[in-house]
């Protein structure tokens, strides 16, 4: 009986040894399958271009080869996840290419993101279709980045308003715009759009284009433009500086042709009546004068109320005839 128990123990020991032998073999095979010589040494993120609502980022991944030379199809996969929802928003892949032993190669990728969001960024090395290395980062506060508008160096210091003419057509206002170059280089020649917008109805009364011209560093110049607006209204004068088809600078000031004052302590607010006819834009070059003259001639030749007077005359005559017959 004792000999039988020893035999059973011996068999159990052999089974345990065999189990650990097989398990170690499986673990070793899994490590060899996942293992690779490529790893991520560092990741750098910089802003290439900052717009009003989004930013272009440059993500540079430094891939290091810690083993033998590699010419495999390894690549860097960049994934952008929304930090609040966890949803994948962007995904890009860039091939690493041949990389020698102990060499570090920089792989750059460009991606655009909304400035209002918070993100989690995953940088992954895929080697022959297998996940080899992964690094996570968080990205927030993009809305604090200054827009590229500042790169122009052009600043709008102030605006002066002068009344040049008043007539039945409206008021001609001269807008003197003070432009200063706060950059370190001579500024480019930008196009500038000036609008006079009625402050309540937000109707544009007039607008004109001018040129900024080249401005030396720390120099201030005055650019003037005349706008014709209806009298009796208040206006916001909007200024936008254009670089090609992109607005790179905006500002505004106010001119009040109908200023209000507080009459009592209650500060009663009274609705304004906007006469939209004051803001009607007439295209004189498209006006058909021949048609207008023909229309006026037709109006002059039309009978007008002649037919009505004739009916009244007939009724009056019949009445008089009937009266005489009775007499």
* Under 8 Å between Cβ of 38 and 96: yes
Give domain status of residue 309, yes or no: no
For the entire predicted model, the pTM comes to 0.45
- 216 in the same domain as 169: yes
Indicate the SS3 state at residue 221: strand
The pLDDT assigned to 31 comes to 32
Given 144, 166, 193, the domain boundary residue is: 144
* 220 against 281, higher pLDDT: 220
Domain of 76: which CATH number?
A: 2.60.40.10
Shared domain check, 189 and 100: no
Mean pLDDT of 46-69: 84
Domain count, the chain: 2
Answer whether residue 106 is part of any domain: yes
Q: Per the domain annotation, does 78 fall within a domain? A: yes
Mean pLDDT of 81-85: 91
CA distance 170 to 108: 59
Q: Report percent pLDDT > 70 for the chain.
A: 65
Q: How many CA atoms lie within 13 A of 28 on its CB side?
A: 6
Domain of 242?
149-278
pLDDT, tens digit, for every residue of 177-199? 999 988 778 888 999 999 999 98
Place of tokens 């900052």: 50
CB 65 within 8 A of CB 36: no
Residues 92, 154 share a domain: no
Give the mean model confidence (pLDDT) for residues 251-262.
80
| Least-confidence region, from 59-68, 138-147, 290-299, 305-314 | 290-299
Which one has a higher pLDDT value, 296 or 260?
260
b (16+ CB within 10 A) / e for 33-55? eeebbbbbeebeeeeeebeeeeb
Higher pLDDT, 118 or 185: 118
- Answer whether residue 267 is part of any domain: yes
């Amino acid at each position: 009986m004792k000999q039988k128990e020893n035999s059973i123990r011996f068999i159990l020991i052999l089974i345990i040894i065999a189990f650990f032998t097989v398990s170690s073999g499986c673990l070793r095979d899994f490590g060899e399958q996942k293992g690779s010589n490529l790893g991520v040494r560092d990741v750098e993120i910089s802003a290439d271009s900052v717009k009003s609502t989004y930013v272009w980022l440059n993500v540079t991944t430094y891939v290091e080869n810690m083993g033998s030379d590699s010419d495999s199809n390894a690549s860097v996969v960049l994934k952008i996840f929304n930090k609040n929802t966890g949803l994948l928003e962007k995904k890009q892949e860039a091939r690493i290419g041949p990389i020698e032993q102990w060499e570090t190669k920089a792989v750059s990728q460009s991606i655009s993101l909304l400035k209002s969001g918070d993100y989690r960024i995953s940088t992954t090395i895929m080697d022959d279709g297998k996940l080899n290395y992964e690094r996570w980062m968080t990205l927030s506060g993009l809305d604090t980045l200054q827009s590229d508008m500042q790169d122009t160096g052009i600043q709008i210091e102030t605006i002066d308003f002068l009344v040049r003419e008043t007539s039945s057509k409206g008021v001609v206002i001269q807008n003197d715009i003070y432009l200063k170059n706060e950059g370190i280089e001579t500024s480019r020649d930008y196009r500038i759009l000036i609008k006079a917008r009625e402050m309540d109805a937000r109707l544009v009364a007039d607008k004109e284009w001018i040129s900024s011209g080249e401005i030396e560093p720390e120099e201030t110049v005055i650019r003037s433009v005349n706008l014709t607006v209806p009298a009796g209204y208040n206006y916001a004068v909007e200024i936008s500086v254009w670089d090609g088809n992109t607005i790179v600078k905006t500002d505004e000031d106010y001119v009040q042709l109908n200023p209000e004052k507080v009459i009592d302590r209650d500060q009663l607010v009274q609705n304004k009546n906007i006469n939209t006819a004051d803001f009607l834009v007439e295209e004189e070059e498209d006006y058909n004068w021949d048609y207008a003259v023909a229309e006026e001639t037709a109006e002059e030749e039309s009978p007008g109320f002649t037919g009505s007077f004739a009916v009244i005359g007939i009724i009056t005559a019949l009445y008089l005839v009937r009266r005489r017959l009775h007499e």
